[in-house]
Amino acid sequence: MEKSAFERMNGTYRQEGDYFLPNLAVPESVPIGIWGQRRRHYLREHRKALYNALLLSGKLDIHLADTNQQAEDVFSQLVKQMAEQEGITEQLKADSQMEWVGQMNNIRSAAEEIVNTEIIFA
């Protein structure tokens, strides 16, 4: 009897009653954060060929997880550096919470735009 395509790719079967079922395993999923989700959306909408190539090769989740980690690291570093440059301290937080929140929101927005431009939409 000729081997099936599954068997030619070293696939195996197990018997369940009168049926032979393929031994398949679902790959473990990699957690993807907000930056990885944004990258997925960008690739799906604007870089369809790259998205499909990554998806079909099974490397999409790894790419998105790596992008998420890189973006998170850059975002955290940017927020820290920009806060130091603007002189936003814990003392300001204690003295004037609303001013501190407003300035930190501005810094986070600016850092988010930089990460989107340099990493997510690159």
User: What's the domain count of the chain?
Assistant: 1
Tell me the residue range of the domain where 18 lies: 5-120
Structure tokens at 50: 């790259």
Mean pLDDT of 66-94: 95
**Cα separations (Å) of 93 from 1, 22, 24, 84, 100?**
76, 60, 55, 13, 5
The partner residues of 22 in beta bridges, in order of sequence, read: 13
Q: How confident is the model at residue 9 (pLDDT cuts 50, 70, 90)?
A: confident
More confident residue, 104 or 30: 104
More confident residue, 112 or 22: 112
Q: How confident is the model at residue 2 (pLDDT cuts 50, 70, 90)?
A: confident
Structure tokens at 14: 């197990």
Quick: pLDDT tens for 31-41.
899 999 999 99
